[in-house]
Amino acid sequence: MKRFTKTERIGVNEVERIFLDFGWIPRTIYQTDVGIDMEVEICEDGDPTGQLIAVQIKTGESYFKEDDFGEIIYRGKNVHLKYWTKHSLPVILVLHNPKTQWTIWQRITPEGIIKTDQNWKIAIPKQQSLDENSIDELKKLNKLPIYFQRLQRLAIHSKLISKINAGDFLILEIEEWVNKLSGKARITLKEINYNGDEIILSDGYYFHFYGVESLQTLYPWAKYEIDDDYYYDDEYDEFMNNFGVWDYEEKEYAGTRIDFREYRENLPKIRAIADGSGETQLFRLIINLNDLGLSFFTLNNYLEYGMQLSINLDGT
């Protein structure tokens, strides 16, 4: 099932473009229960700060129809509000009008919510456009100390950590531009279901990628191994091109001077596949939990169990 409709995709693309123009790192999230479309990492002078904000995007002219004295009124459902106000990151709501290219935002806070008979509403100032004039205000949203920001990153990935611990198959694909000075890569997180279908969970560009070590910032709880089946055919073709003995009469390789298995054993454990053009290379990595991920999973389960036990004992 697609996460976004065509109209919603237009808004997500535009918001992604705006944050990229800021020099920040947006990562689109395709599979969520109740709605966070994007995580954005704030950068300073080209360097990621670790400061994250969560973004929910609503696209369409209809969201701008309720105009109340210089404010646009957004009406939402309680199930979304509960999720957003309890989120480990500060959450902003972004409205995008694809006809006028008008994009405005507001932070979701309990203080800014007005309860209605059935659900809730929030006022978004019309002058609060998502543009360079908002950069300073957005930077103020997540000013927690760095160690709390690291805990935030673990918390927002708790579902991923649980999936991996349960044996689900998660893949990280990194398309890296070979020009090492650019540091540019597109990073896509996928889940492989029982039918072998690849479901995209999130993707986005990263501008400070200088090898797999850079992933420590994005996924401090993870360790990796190559998707061996995916690499095998490509590396075999490369191997035969380099070491195969060509039979000109049969028009095929007759053998090789060295053993393919030994050749692969001598390759780096984490490696990329060139795309043939010389412009990009691809890492396709299976994600596992490192010691931090395992410890976090255990602690998180312990805390959830303790909370549930307390609720049961209280009878509330």
Which domains, ranges and CATH numbers included, belong to the chain? 1-144 (3.40.1350.10), 157-316 (no CATH)
Task: Decide if pLDDT at 305 tops 60.
Answer: no
What CA–CA distance (Å, rounded) separates 207 from 46? 8
**Collapsed DSSP state (helix, strand, coil) of residue 143:** coil
Per DSSP (E only), the strands in the chain are 25-29, 38-44, 47-59, 71-76, 91-97, 102-107, 113-115, 120-125, 169-177, 185-192, 198-206, 222-226, 244-247, 252-256, 273-274, 280-289
Task: Decide if pLDDT at 69 tops 70.
Answer: yes
Task: Decide if pLDDT at 72 tops 90.
Answer: yes
Task: Decide if pLDDT at 30 tops 50.
Answer: yes
208 — pLDDT class (breaks 50, 70, 90)? confident
Per-residue pLDDT tens over the stretch 148-158 = 777 777 888 88
pLDDT reported for residue 306: 45
> Which candidate, 190, 161, 165, 162, places its Cα nearest to that of 175?
190
% of the chain with per-residue pLDDT over 90: 45
**Collapsed DSSP state (helix, strand, coil) of residue 210:** coil
What CA–CA distance (Å, rounded) separates 283 from 128? 40
What CA–CA distance (Å, rounded) separates 107 from 90? 7
- Per the rule left: phi > 0, alpha: psi between -120 and 50, beta: everything else, 269 is alpha
Q: Give the long-range contacts of residues 302-307, CB within 8 A, separation 24 or more.
A: none
The model's pTM? 0.76
H-type helices in 251-316, by residue range?
A: 260-265, 291-314
Look at 29-38, 62-71, 73-82 and tell me which has the smallest mean pLDDT.
29-38
32 vs 225, higher pLDDT: 225
Task: Decide if pLDDT at 287 tops 80.
Answer: yes
Task: Decide if pLDDT at 45 tops 60.
Answer: yes
Task: Decide if pLDDT at 309 tops 50.
Answer: no
Residues whose CB is less than 8 angstroms from the CB of residue 123 and which lie 6 or more positions away in sequence, other chains included = 68, 71, 72, 73, 74, 106, 112, 114
The two structure tokens encoding residue 177: 């531009």
Partner residues linked to 225 by β-bridges:
286
For residue 250, the Cα-to-chain-centroid distance in whole angstroms is 50
The predicted model gives 179-200 an average pLDDT of: 86
Q: DSSP secondary-structure letter at 63?
A: G
219 — pLDDT class (breaks 50, 70, 90)? confident
SS (H, E, C) 167-187: CCEEEEEEEEECCCCCCCEEE
What CA–CA distance (Å, rounded) separates 292 from 164? 13
Look at 177-186, 234-243, 247-256 and tell me which has the smallest mean pLDDT.
247-256
Angle between helices 158-165 and 291-314 (to 10 degrees): 100
What CA–CA distance (Å, rounded) separates 114 from 311? 29
Per-residue pLDDT tens over the stretch 104-133 = 999 999 999 999 888 999 999 999 999 999
The predicted model gives 128-154 an average pLDDT of: 85
pLDDT reported for residue 53: 93
34 — pLDDT class (breaks 50, 70, 90)? low
What CA–CA distance (Å, rounded) separates 128 from 303? 39
pLDDT reported for residue 302: 60
**Collapsed DSSP state (helix, strand, coil) of residue 33:** coil
What CA–CA distance (Å, rounded) separates 144 from 49? 11
311 vs 244, higher pLDDT: 244
Per-residue pLDDT tens over the stretch 90-99 = 999 999 999 9
